[in-house]
Amino acid sequence: MSQSGPGITLAALAARVGAVVEGDGTRCVARVGTLENAGPDAIAFLANPKYRAQLATTRAGAVVVAPADAAATALPRLVAADPYSVYARVAAVLHPPALPAAGIHPSAVVAASARIDAEAAVGAHAVVGERAVVGPRAIVGAGTVIGADAEIGEGVTLHPNVSIYARCVIGPRTVVHSGAVIGADGFGMAEEGGRWLRIPQVGRVVIGADCDIGANTTIDRGAIDDTVIEDDVKLDNQIQVGHNCRIGRHTAIAGCVGIAGSAHIGRNCKIAGAAGIGGHLSIADGTVIGAATAIVATIDRAGVYTGMFPALPHREWQKVAARLRRLDELADRVRALERALAQRSPV
């Protein structure tokens, strides 16, 4: 949870977020808002050109704009090449998180062998297992469970009802949202005589620094080696990461993506919602994958990949589907015509 700060001048704000002030630098703002709904105590931003007309009607006290849009408003403004990233920094300054007081709630269950830093906060009914380590300024939310020998780094935030299984590692400043499960068994089974034998999953999940793990996202522990999430990876809600996967740093993955076991996703990738990624394949650094796209083979060259068929009115879709079903027949007819033409004598 975050709260509004007491207010800050634009000049002071610019110094903290790396922007240039144009207009009245003494103007104070206390919160962020949209161009449409902001009031005089708020600062809004313009990052998408289609909202440019709202600069003329906004009631915001100040705005964040790109240099090309600076002359389009008389309001005091922060000017930056990337208004959206500056807005993110502004929002962090004006809406700092409400941090709980350090200490262990009386209802928490903490193993005697666990090590909880004096600056950490452990919430109501949380459970911390044997030999687990919770670092300085870490926050363990109410009802969260940390397994034996797990390591929670400095400044980590575990929101309420997170499950961190035994021996998993969460790197500094990472945020894990409610309902996430880190380190459950991967889907490892061997078939024998018509029955499934469970394969013990003996690896860990190792998550790097400055990551975000969305609500109800699940990351399975490795079967033998670790499942690894590198630094600054951003995972949205309800993502499934299978065992032995590796996700490279600075990659962002939107909601409902499913990643099968032993997939290796490169650095600086962007994967849109509901995409599916098959197991035991690799995706090159810098790859962009569209929504609902199925990846069933390795991508060894960065680019934009899309496999979704766009929506159509139902009756039109039925016609297209009917034609698609006849493609094999049509291909056979074309080949037959080509052979016939090839056999014809020259005129």
Listed in sequence order, the residues at least 6 apart from 338 whose beta carbon sits closer than 8 Å to its beta carbon are none
Q: Which of 62, 73, 70 is nearest to 26 (CA)?
A: 62
Nearest to 25 by CA among 8, 47, 46, 44: 8
Select from 94, 128, 83 the least CA-distant residue to 6: 94
* Cβ–Cβ < 8 Å for 13, 78: yes
Nearest to 217 by CA among 261, 259, 277: 259
Around 36, how many Cα atoms within 13 Å sit in the side-chain half-sphere?
Answer: 2
Q: Which tokens belong to 134?
A: 């919770």
For the chain, give the number of residues: 347
How far apart are alpha carbons 75 and 95 in whole angstroms?
22
In whole angstroms, give the CA distance from residue 79 to residue 67: 6
List residues with catalytic annotation: 243
**What are the residues whose beta carbons fall under 8 Å from the beta carbon of 224, sequence distance 6 or more?**
202, 203, 244
| Structure tokens, 323 | 């034609």
